[in-house]
Each structure stands twice: as C-alpha cells, then as structure tokens.
Chain A
C-alpha cells in the first residue's frame, strides 16, 4: 500500500536530514483509513500484527449509545453526522469517526424514560392527545409500582427535552469504527451539549 509509520523519513530534532539506509519494514506499516459511512452494515476483518483481528467498519447504521446522567445504554439507529471538530468534509460526507457529533434516534430512550418515570418527554412537540394516551407514560400500573415511580425523580434539562420532541438526540462517538467495527458513544448533555449546539448553529 505504501503507507509507513516510521520516523526515519523525517528530519531529526536538530533539523538534520536523516540518511535513507534501509527499506520499509512490515512492523512500520500503516493501512488506508476506513472512511466509515452511514448505510447497511458492512465490516471487513483485517488480520493484524500478532495474529489479532481488527474490524474495519466500512458502513454502519446503528450503535450503542449511553445516557450518562440516567446510566443506561440502548442500541439506536444513527441518523446523520452533524459536526466534526477536525474536518467539515467529514460532516458533508457523513463519515463516522471517533469524536464526531451525530444525531441518533431517540425512541429507545424515550420509551425507557416513560416506562420508568411515567412522564411524557418532548411534550411541546407532541401534538396529538392520542399519542400521549398510547405512550408508556399513561399505561396501567399496579399501586405498588406507582408508589415506586412516585419516589423517583425524573428531571430532564430543557435542551434535551426539545431533542426528544424532534425524535433525534445529539450524541458523540467515542469508539473507533475503523478499529473495533462499532460506532458507540454517549448522549451530549449539559455544558457539552450547549457547546456543540452553538457550534452547529454558527456553522449554519
């Protein structure tokens, strides 16, 4: 392939040009990056040094995302890449990399929340009363369960609540899709969420 990770081709700390005295070695090799896109799952297995495997995800559509403040994780569909601190090109081409801000499908988290706290999320956007009546927030529960639920505190910050209304949450990718074959991460909250929302809005 021609990609090598040696430093013999670079100038030294003093600026001296280093003599080229040996060929490239296999242990210095580098491989093409997986520009992981959104789409039906396609993962290539690579045999790496020591006989181990790396899973190069070429296309992914879902991942496990954690809601930190509630300490839960759900597997969700990834909708779109929305911001990348390093390169706008990666946003335009919807490339999944570690540290990219993505939009994920909010339904598994909403269902979990409504089951646990019996409160409706994203109330402002949800127009029809039918939806509310059908949702898990208003289903039949035993008195014992209702007492347990009343004791729990379900508070969601307004920025997150709006996102639930639109059905899409902002999350950041924390796994390396080209190495592990997975696109996992956590949902943005608090100061981090404000920071990235501002960045996204400024770009538009």
Chain B
C-alpha cells in the first residue's frame, strides 16, 4: 500500500533515499521521545510518513504530559481528547463536573484508536490552529468479556 497520496513526494526529511551503491533499502528514521515512553513497533517497522509524528517526524515532546479519554476520531490524523475534572464551589461545599477538550495529533503508529480509549498526550510546538499536543501512548478500553463478538 503506497503512502504517496499527496501531490508532493512524501518522505522523511532525515533519510537520504538516493545514496549510490547502498543495498539496504527502506531505511527509516525514528527516535525515542524520552520520559520513559516506548516507541511503538508500528513506528519502527511501518511505512507511513508523518512529519508531525513524535516518533518518526520533526516534533519534540516537552512541557506538559496529560491523559484523557478519546472523544472523537473523525479527523484525519488527529483526535479530540476529553479531560474531566471536578470544580469546587466554596459556597455549597460541593463539586461540579467540568471538562475540557484537547485537540491532539494522532500518529499513524497508533492503530485501532476508538472513541472511549484512554490516551496520554504530550505537549509539543503548535502543529495547527488548535493542536499543541501529540498522542504518545494509547491504552484501548477494556470491555468485560471482550471475547464476545463486537461490532466494528
């Protein structure tokens, strides 16, 4: 399956493809993002090109690391992460539920991300108007009796 779907040639900036007399093909550049986060095997062995991927692209993860649940996966290579929290009202000495949505870039290294999964996002430089975070860890939602048939 080709990853050349755009009008310009997609390639990793860090890899020179045309060296003379070099037999080993399909060199891929990837990095360890640090802070103890494992770089997924799909990032190392896959063929996708994503300059905004934290493992195979040109972004560094620094600053805040947050977690949340995936609210929507409808966008191309990005997800909305919903973070719930409780806000205390001093007058009534009680809490109220509040939430914030974060737009985060989802690398193709993470496959099978669905709404409801838990996800860890790390802060990076602004990638678009609203995206300042990048998904760095994905934990699928555990359903009870997951051996049962699931609708896709």
Complex contact A189–B18 (CB within 8 A): yes
Q: Provided the pairs A85-B8, A195-B9, A196-B9 are in contact, do residues A190 and B20 lie with their beta carbons within 8 angstroms?
A: no
Q: Which of B1-19 contact A (CB under 8 A)?
A: 4, 6-9, 11, 16-19
B93 near A: Cβ within 8 Å? no
Nearest Cβ in chain A — how far from B8, in angstroms? 4
Would you give the 0/1 interface string for B10-39, flagging 1 where the beta carbon is closer than 8 Å to chain A?
010000111111000000000000000000
Whether the Cβ atoms of A13 and B7 lie closer than 8 Å is: no
Q: How big is the B interface, by class?
A: 10 to 19
Query: B147 an interface residue at 8 Å Cβ cutoff?
Result: no
Contact call B20/A69, Cβ cutoff below 8 A: yes
A69 touches B4 (CB 8 A): no
Is there contact, CB below 8 Å, between B8 and A68? no
Contact indicator A13/B103 (Cβ below 8 Å):
yes
> Can you list 27 A-B contacts with CB-CB less than 8 angstroms, sorted by A residue number?
A7-B129, A13-B101, A13-B103, A13-B129, A13-B130, A69-B18, A69-B19, A70-B20, A85-B6, A85-B7, A85-B8, A86-B7, A99-B8, A153-B20, A155-B20, A155-B21, A189-B17, A189-B18, A190-B17, A190-B18, A191-B17, A192-B9, A192-B17, A192-B18, A195-B4, A195-B9, A199-B7
